[in-house]
Structure 1
Amino acid sequence: MTSQPSAQKSETKPPDEPEPPQRRHALSSLWRLRHYLRPYRGRMIAMFTLALAATGAALVVPWLIQRVIDGPITGGDTSGVWLLGGAIAVFGFAEAVIIWIRRFIQAKVALGLEADMRADLYAHMQKLHAGFHDRWQTGQLLARATADLGSMRRFMAWGLIFGAMSLVTFAAVTVQLVALNWQLGLLVAASAVPLFFTARNFARAYIVASRQMQDQQGEVASIAEQAAQGIRVIKAFGRAPHMERLFGVEAVRLRDVSVARMDIAARSWATFNVIPNATLAIVLVGGAIAVAHQQLTIGGLVAFVSLQLMLVWPVEALGWIIANGNEAMTAADRVKDVFDTEPAIADAPGAVAVARAETRGHVRFEGVSFAYEGVAEPVLDGVDLEVRPGETLAIAGVTGSGKTTLVSLVPRLYDVTGGRVTIDGTDIRDLSLASLRSVVATAFEDPTLFSMSVRENLTLGRAESTDAEVAEALRVAQAEFVHDLPYGLDTRIGEQGLSLSGGQRQRLALARAVLVKPAVLVLDDPLSALDVHTEELVERALASVLKGTTALIVVHRPSTVMLADRVALLAEGRIAAIGSHSELLETVPAYAQVLSAESEEMAA
């Protein structure tokens, strides 16, 4: 059996994954995803309007305080104090209600955005060809679909509003401060200069640190995911300490890059905190002098300080907004890596649908060549092969000869790099993928079962199957053991179906393929995990199913060859011989050697 070279799977990061982006590049990636905001445009406008209203209500309070101090308090009018105090309470309550409404809307927008992006990302990953998933680590894709989308959601629904309102608040407060006392007001405005340079330097350093941390999160997720899937192998070989060390190395690396990122943030946030507080100290001293020289009233000073205190939170939040924005930009760049990968296997323009009832199942390989991405040496080189309608053809060959690759071309799990594959004379690339895969069913040697019920796993390829059809498929595959499970067909299978034996998983996968009732059935050594007695029963039942169905069977066991009308011997990427089993045994020594080697492997 030939599969994607293992070296590609072991890469620490996908070969097409870019280096940590520059700020302009990352900002471009986030900007390209702005269309997700369009359905929420009305709510975003409402959020911004409510934020303006809350800010307006907050800005009124310092002026009311000034009126209270310079008016009723100075004049000893207690009735005026109560009136203005009540007005302050009303505005404060109004601000609280507005903030509550805005945050409620904001939460719905944020979660809606994330759900939309995640649904599109998942749908796009489903369209990408098998070669893409061979190269990319599962943990890296999981990190993009979870943590990265979370970062984007926080910025697009929260950071944008907070950032815009911080600028509006700073401008509005500064105007009022200048109106109260222009010297002190300009001093506060001037404090924006060091804040600008601090923010610029922070953003430049933080965006690189964020990308490094997010990439490392994907590495840690990959190791954890692999360890969870391979827990039986790890335990069987007693390699838990080794895997713990591997995980520990990556976890420590994640800790180090996270600490480095937080060090950048901490130094910058300290500056964001020092500048407004130092400015406030200067204002208090300058304001006291102004009051002493009767250039400012006591109420005016209190109002000035109250307004300036309104700037403390936006300035301190500036660090969070910049950090969140940079994380969102690098996350968008990572997500864009996936979105920008075009499906290599897709419907061609003008692709036609093929109906099962009209498909005879005449399969031809015409000068077929194939090489995996990034591998110069072709796996298949000029394969010419014909499988007549209703014929069962076995593919034999030594390990690594290209058997699995050859049969994987029929359902277009991969596309040929030379030549073509046809069904009933039509190039399969001219057929729509959906219809092609409705007439071609596949069962693999290493079956994949999903964390869902037995029934759902069986009907994955044909949801409309009746109970009678399910029962017949189970009988053919000798998978009737499912009725003995706690809840029968409704029993939920654990992840990867590891709660079942290897033979049970293979039989369920075979039943799933049979249930489709395909015109072409591709079986990649689907009986390798069965005992001899069960294999005989499955082969006997399968023989009746294969009548009228074109079948390609990758064989390792000599007994499986008996299902075939003819056998093709694959060697060095070419068809070395083809004929009946007995003919090849008599005339092709290499064929007898292949079967002999396979028998020895099975016995071992």
Structure 2
Amino acid sequence: MLKIARGRMSIWAVTGAFLFMILQVISSLNLPSLTANIVNNGVAKGDINYIWRVGAEMVGFALLSVLAAVGNVFLAARTSQHLGQQLRSDIYRKVIGFSNDEFDQVETSSLITRTTNDVVQIQNVAMMALRMMIMAPIMLIGASVLAYNKNQRLTMIFLIVLPVLAIFIGLVMRFAVPLFRAMQSKTDRINLIFREGLTGVRVIRAFRRDKFEQTRFEAANQDYTHNAIKVFSIMALMFPIMTLMMSATNVGITWFGAKLIADFSMPVGNLIAFLTYAMQILMSFMMLSMVFVFIPRAQASALRIQEVLALDSTINDKPEPKALPADLDHSELNFQHVDYRYRGAENRALTDIDFSAKSGQTVAIIGGTGSGKTSLVSLLPRFYDVEAGSIRLNGTDIRDLTQHDLRQAISFVPQTAILFTGTVRENMQYGDPNATDEAIWHALKIARADDFIAADAGLDTHVEQGGGNFSGGQRQRLAIARALVKDAAVYVFDDSFSALDFKTDSQLRAELRADSRIQNRIVIIVAQRIATVADADLILVLDNGKLVGKGTHEALKAHNAVYQEIMASQLKEGEEAQHE
């Protein structure tokens, strides 16, 4: 946990909180002694002036204690909240830089829990550390010394009370700490099921699995609830036991103190002060124990956060990267005997992929489900890195480029059309932050999305989370338009025409071929339909991760068995001629 806090907490703020707390404790420790002096020297002797003078000192120390407490709370709250802010920023920055391999290692639901709940646990303990962890030991030692000075014989009571209290607190920690640690993983489970339920609500309703999902969530929720009830029930025992111990201590001190007073061995004021110091000692002990109970939970959270922050990305820029030529109209892409396998997989996802493309060419990739089409195009922007072979853009291995420069040269449309909350204009400007309205409308026109956007509020049309206020085909066309807004050397469409009808698909591809800018770029289209790939300059046929054919539609139709099987499964008699 100290590793997490180091560098994220201001040393000056921590020092200030420490000094304010010392001032508060010193002021609080002086009050019982002043009370004793008023009773012993003022009340007992009837000295009103002494009572007023010492009373004024007490008011001064009380005000000083309040001001110091305010200063400590302000700095502690500011520092702990700043720590949380820094941790959330660092986690988000780290996660944004993850490759797909890292995302495969840590579930999204767990990342959400680590960024929210785990950070809150650390914030709370940081606040507690700057308050209780400083106050408790100073107060405990100071009150013990002052109580001993008031009467040595009465301090023997603490030799009985404190060990009993320590044993009880040890038992509480023994049972509570493992339950606190388990709460974080159970929170992960709730987030996972809840997130799946929200994202898959249409599927759930379509298959009438509402009750099943409710039961699944209820089971996770009950598991978390039972765990929380157990741990907080155990923690709740501390307060009545502490109250009992305090009451018993007061009775003991009063009983033996009364005898000492009767024997004239101790003034009455000293007994009053001793009782106050006894409460301060026990409260300090309780605060210290609370800190030790909550620290393990925060430590578990810190370890989970550190796992994310320490997770080394498998894709990094080289210390001295090469520059990419800026001429987008004359680009060349080469896959040179590329192999790839997913982390932990026994078999390769791609084997010996070898092809080339130049500006002005359209490359289409087709194959059965699981043949490696998406894996292939995911290598291009370095979502994953090749295992063997190389991918070269304009003669430069893409691993020698910075990820920023590489992805600046590529415009990518993923399989799932992702839109962000905001307006259509804001979504389009993800492709180019400086895009003008004219350029955006041009991209929308190519993507055949201008009609339904113009019919709404134009570029100011509101986009709900995930584009929920658009149909699947509309979301795909908007995602395509966003990619076209960006001026790139390579345009990749990863099965992004799948939700379009044949007419819109055909019109969109015609618009792409007719656009003067796209005509001078490399276009890569991943598709399932023969109709979508038939016009491509080069068609790659994948089967089980292997390149089993490449060429034009005519050549593959005549000589490639896998391509012929795909055609036969899609084209009815007479349709083939339509696409020839």
- Could you tell me the TM-score, scaled by structure 1's length? 0.90
Give the equivalent residue in structure 2 for 1:120.
Answer: 90
Give the equivalent residue in structure 1 for 2:300.
Answer: 330
Q: Cα offset for 1:255?
A: 1.2
Give the equivalent residue in structure 2 for 1:70.
Answer: 40
Q: Cα offset for 1:167?
A: 0.4
Q: Percent identity?
A: 26
Structure 2 residue 157 is the aligned partner of structure 1 residue 180: no
Stretches of structure 1 that go unaligned for 5 or more consecutive residues are 1-29
Q: Deviations over 1:189-226 (max 9, x none)?
A: 66444444544554454432222111100110111111
- Partners of 2:103 and 2:119 in 1: CA distance: 20
Comparing 393-402 with 178-187, which one deviates more in the overlay? Answer: 178-187
Structure 2 residue 463 is the aligned partner of structure 1 residue 493: yes
- Partners of 1:108 and 1:223 in 2: CA distance: 34
Structure 2 residue 486 is the aligned partner of structure 1 residue 548: no
Stretches of structure 2 that go unaligned for 5 or more consecutive residues are 576-580
- Partners of 1:342 and 1:235 in 2: CA distance: 40
Give the AA of the match of 1:289: K
Q: What is the SS of the residue equivalent to 1:353? A: coil
- Give 1:595's match in structure 2, choosing from 567, 571, 574: 567
Q: What is the SS of the residue equivalent to 1:184? A: coil
Give the equivalent residue in structure 2 for 1:234.
Answer: 204
Comparing 464-473 with 215-224, which one deviates more in the overlay? Answer: 464-473
Give the equivalent residue in structure 1 for 2:410.
Answer: 440
Q: What is the SS of the residue equivalent to 1:406? A: helix
Counterpart mapping for 1:132-171 below 5 A: 132-171=102-141
- Partners of 2:397 and 2:432 in 1: CA distance: 24
Q: Deviations over 1:31-57 (max 9, x none)?
A: 22131444x111111111111111111
Q: What is the SS of the residue equivalent to 2:431? A: coil
- Partners of 1:353 and 1:55 in 2: CA distance: 62
- Give 1:363's match in structure 2, choosing from 333, 338, 341: 333
- Partners of 1:73 and 1:584 in 2: CA distance: 110
Mapped contact 1:439–1:519 kept (Cα < 8 A):
yes
Q: Cα offset for 1:268?
A: 5.2
Mapped contact 1:477–1:508 kept (Cα < 8 A):
yes
- Partners of 1:254 and 1:151 in 2: CA distance: 17
Q: Cα offset for 1:575?
A: 1.1
Q: What is the SS of the residue equivalent to 1:463? A: coil
Q: Cα offset for 1:186?
A: 4.4
Mapped contact 1:174–1:189 kept (Cα < 8 A):
no
- Give 2:5's match in structure 1, choosing from 34, 43, 46: 34
Q: Deviations over 1:462-489 (max 9, x none)?
A: 2122222212111111111464465432
Mapped contact 1:273–1:316 kept (Cα < 8 A):
no
Give the equivalent residue in structure 1 for 2:342.
Answer: 372
Give the equivalent residue in structure 2 for 1:61.
Answer: 31
Compared with structure 1, are the counterparts of its residues 106 and 569 closer, same or farther at alpha carbon in structure 2 (3 Å cutoff)? same
Q: Cα offset for 1:355?
A: 4.3
Compared with structure 1, are the counterparts of its residues 75 and 149 closer, same or farther at alpha carbon in structure 2 (3 Å cutoff)? same
Q: Deviations over 1:371-420 (max 9, x none)?
A: 11222121111222222333111111111111111111101111112222
Q: Cα offset for 1:97?
A: 2.5
Q: Cα offset for 1:93?
A: 2.6
Mapped contact 1:128–1:343 kept (Cα < 8 A):
yes
Give the AA of the match of 1:595: M
Give the equivalent residue in structure 1 for 2:552.
Answer: 580
- Give 1:252's match in structure 2, choosing from 210, 217, 222: 222
Mapped contact 2:27–2:62 kept (Cα < 8 A):
yes
Structure 2 residue 334 is the aligned partner of structure 1 residue 343: no
Q: Deviations over 1:498-530 (max 9, x none)?
A: 111011110111111111121011111211111
Q: What is the SS of the residue equivalent to 2:69? A: helix
Give the equivalent residue in structure 2 for 1:568.
Answer: 540
- Partners of 1:138 and 1:491 in 2: CA distance: 30
Q: What is the SS of the residue equivalent to 2:493? A: strand
Structure 2 residue 508 is the aligned partner of structure 1 residue 530: no
Q: Deviations over 1:139-165 (max 9, x none)?
A: 211110001000101112333431121
How large is the Cα RMSD of the aligned pairs? Answer: 2.2
Q: Cα offset for 1:294?
A: 1.3
Counterpart mapping for 1:187-586 below 5 A: 187-188=157-158, 191-267=161-237, 271-357=241-327, 360-481=330-451, 483-484=453-454, 486-545=456-515, 546-586=518-558
Q: What is the SS of the residue equivalent to 1:182? A: coil
- Partners of 1:426 and 1:205 in 2: CA distance: 60
Compared with structure 1, are the counterparts of its residues 556 and 389 closer, same or farther at alpha carbon in structure 2 (3 Å cutoff)? same
Q: What is the SS of the residue equivalent to 2:462? A: coil
- Partners of 1:351 and 1:239 in 2: CA distance: 52
Mapped contact 2:336–2:354 kept (Cα < 8 A):
yes
Q: Deviations over 1:417-464 (max 9, x none)?
A: 222211122211111000000001111232111122212211113212
Mapped contact 1:36–1:117 kept (Cα < 8 A):
no
Mapped contact 1:485–1:491 kept (Cα < 8 A):
no
Comparing 400-409 with 461-470, which one deviates more in the overlay? Answer: 461-470
Give the equivalent residue in structure 2 for 1:25.
Answer: none
Compared with structure 1, are the counterparts of its residues 106 and 599 closer, same or farther at alpha carbon in structure 2 (3 Å cutoff)? farther
Give the AA of the match of 2:565: Q
Count of matched residue positions in the alignment of Structure 1 and Structure 2: 571
Give the equivalent residue in structure 2 for 1:52.
Answer: 22
Mapped contact 1:522–1:553 kept (Cα < 8 A):
yes
- Partners of 1:416 and 1:37 in 2: CA distance: 36
- Partners of 1:169 and 1:482 in 2: CA distance: 70
Mapped contact 1:206–1:326 kept (Cα < 8 A):
no
- Partners of 2:8 and 2:379 in 1: CA distance: 40
- Partners of 1:548 and 1:447 in 2: CA distance: 25
Q: What is the SS of the residue equivalent to 2:195? A: helix
Give the equivalent residue in structure 2 for 1:15.
Answer: none
- Partners of 1:201 and 1:349 in 2: CA distance: 54
Compared with structure 1, are the counterparts of its residues 205 and 474 closer, same or farther at alpha carbon in structure 2 (3 Å cutoff)? same
Q: Deviations over 1:271-318 (max 9, x none)?
A: 555444433332222211111111110011011111212233323323
Mapped contact 1:272–1:315 kept (Cα < 8 A):
no
Mapped contact 2:365–2:541 kept (Cα < 8 A):
yes
Give the AA of the match of 2:371: S
Give the AA of the match of 1:555: A
- Partners of 2:493 and 2:326 in 1: CA distance: 19
Give the equivalent residue in structure 2 for 1:14.
Answer: none
Comparing 67-76 with 157-166, which one deviates more in the overlay? Answer: 157-166
Q: What is the SS of the residue equivalent to 1:347? A: coil
- Partners of 1:263 and 1:596 in 2: CA distance: 67
Comparing 481-490 with 99-108, which one deviates more in the overlay? Answer: 481-490
Q: Cα offset for 1:104?
A: 2.0
- Give 1:103's match in structure 2, choosing from 69, 73, 77: 73
- Could you tell me the TM-score, scaled by structure 2's length? 0.93
Q: What is the SS of the residue equivalent to 1:360? A: coil
Q: Cα offset for 1:131?
A: 2.5
Q: What is the SS of the residue equivalent to 1:441? A: strand
